[in-house]
Amino acid sequence: MYLILLGPACALIVAGAAWWRVRRLRHLIRVERAAVQLLQAADHRDMNAFRARIAGLVAEHRAAELEEQVLAEADRIVAAELGRTPHYPHYPHEGDSA
């Protein structure tokens, strides 16, 4: 009599173990997908921060180049004006007897 119940009991245990294993595998797949999504989001965030930092450095470099160009142009203008005007001594009254 017990031998008749042994077959279905074994089948039920095997089916339960298979169901448990499939459930566990699905859970592991969900965990793995969540980890991948977190890593992709972190990569996206890091790349945005990197791009913003590089854009800031490029803008700073361009501003420095522009400042150098402005200073060079101002120096050229001052040099041209100094070359055009006569030079007087700093103390014109020194040596004057009057």
For the chain of 98 residues, list the mean pLDDT of each consecutive stretch of 10: 84 94 97 97 96 95 92 91 69 54
Length of the chain: 98
Give me the pLDDT at residue 91, please: 57
HEC secondary structure over the chain: CHHHHHHHHHHHHHHHHHHHHHHHHHHHHHHHHHHHHHHHHHHHHHHHHHHHHHHHHHHHHHHHHHHHHHHHHHHHHHHHHHHHCCCCCCCCCCCCCC
The two tokens of residue 30 are 């969900």
Give me the pLDDT at residue 81, please: 82
Give me the pLDDT at residue 88, please: 61
Give me the pLDDT at residue 94, please: 53
**Structure pTM?**
0.54
